[in-house]
Amino acid sequence: MNGMVLRPRYGLSLCAGGGGLDLGLMLAEPGYHNCDYPLSAGHAWRTLAAAHGLRSLDLEANRWDGSPNANGILKRIAAMSMQGRIGRNAGAKVKRALGVQMALEWAFRVEQAQLELPPPKDVAKEGFGLEYVLLQRAALGCKVDGGQHKMGSYTHPDAEVIAATVAGMPDSLGGIRMAISVAEMARAGITPNWMPGAVPRCVPVDMKRNRHGDRAVSVVVGAEKVLVSGKWRTIEVRACPVTWRPHPEQIASARRGYEDWWQALDWVRDGLVAARMLRDVEVSGVMPKLTPWV
């Protein structure tokens, strides 16, 4: 009976909880609670029916003498419970919706998926690649039964599909180097450093500290003759070399790298959506900002 009734379950206290029986049931099953302390058999069955939303007096299964029929009450409760289960299971399977960045972090960081990169051209490799295995699995319609939680070295099939898609990064988007970069950043849970808040500033190339404080280091850039107290003297012309920090090209390079990473994620998202090989995860259209510095 316990396996047929959905939780939370109700119970009838026996012997008013003597010997710690009620307490033991509450500890064994969180959410369980007593609905009454029956005084007689008829009272017990009427209380059980009321706890599950049944009116025992309206049951067709009542005996001719007005006492509740235990078997009839149990059947009605079981039927209501099974109808609830069928109603939930009959609908379409709801997939977990994730943006492409979150899906990558789930695959590489949580599921610890590994990239199956192609071998060098001068090295022969025997056997089948991961892409072939995934395609054959999709054609057969089979699914690895690994449970709902990660156990040991098991990797979710959807994570393997995501890793295989990343491994196929085209050369126009960076190829293997970009695939490794995308996977490692997802594994670390980070995004490319596009240098937020960076503004080029003109600063001295070098600084020197003495007892009077910090001062910019100057260099000799020439010599000039000047008339001092009626005499011509040669003096050094000094200047302070300056530079831009951070350099504008450094900022531009960092933001080009971010845009390349974004394009790679967009390609992965389109590939996963078009392939339709994910079974428990659905990649949504959510993407990181293309130009977060604007």
**Domain-wise residue ranges, the chain:** 10-89, 96-195+248-283, 201-245
Rounded-to-integer distance, Cα 269 and Cα 103, Å: 9
| Residue 267 structure tokens | 């390609």
Burial 220-236 (b: 16+ CB within 10 A, else e): eeeeeeeeeeeeeeeee
Q: How far apart are CA 106 and CA 116, in angstroms?
A: 17
Helix (H, G, I), strand (E, B) or coil at 36: strand
* Confidence (pLDDT) at 212: 87
Residue 6 has pLDDT above 60, yes or no: no
pLDDT of 188 above 70 = yes
Predicted local confidence at residue 62, as pLDDT:
52
* Residue of 9 and 199 predicted with greater confidence: 199
Query: How much is the average pLDDT of 30-41?
Result: 57
Reduced to 3 states, what is the DSSP secondary structure of residue 277?
Answer: coil
β-pairing verdict for 231-239 and 219-228: antiparallel
With 0.75 as the threshold, say if the pTM is over it: no
Q: What is the DSSP letter of 120?
A: P
Please say if the pLDDT value at position 272 is more than 90: yes
Between 86 and 104, the more confident residue is 104
Joined together, the tokens standing for residue 215 give 């001062």
- Among 39, 52, 54, 47, smallest CA distance to 5 is for 52
Determine the distance from the C-alpha atom of residue 92 to the mean position of all C-alpha atoms in its chain, rounded to a whole number: 23
For the cut 90, the answer to whether the pLDDT of residue 7 exceeds it is: no
Nearest residue to 101 via CA among 38, 177, 183 = 183
Q: Which residue has the higher pLDDT, 181 or 152?
A: 181
164 or 27: which leads in pLDDT? 164
How high is the pLDDT of residue 228? 87
Q: Would you say residue 149 has pLDDT above 70?
A: no
Q: Please count the residues of the chain.
A: 294
Closest CA to 130 of 277, 280, 286: 277
pLDDT at position 198 over 50: yes
Q: Is the pLDDT of residue 26 over 80?
A: no
Backbone angles phi, psi at 116, to 5 degrees: -100, 85
Q: What is the DSSP string of 66-78?
A: S---HHHHHHHHH
**What pLDDT does residue 56 have?**
45
161 Cβ neighbours under 8 A, 6+ residues apart? 134, 272, 275, 277, 278
Q: Please give the structure tokens belonging to residue 273.
A: 């959506």
More confident residue, 199 or 18: 199
Structure tokens at 53: 């939303």
243 φ, ψ to 5°? -150, 170
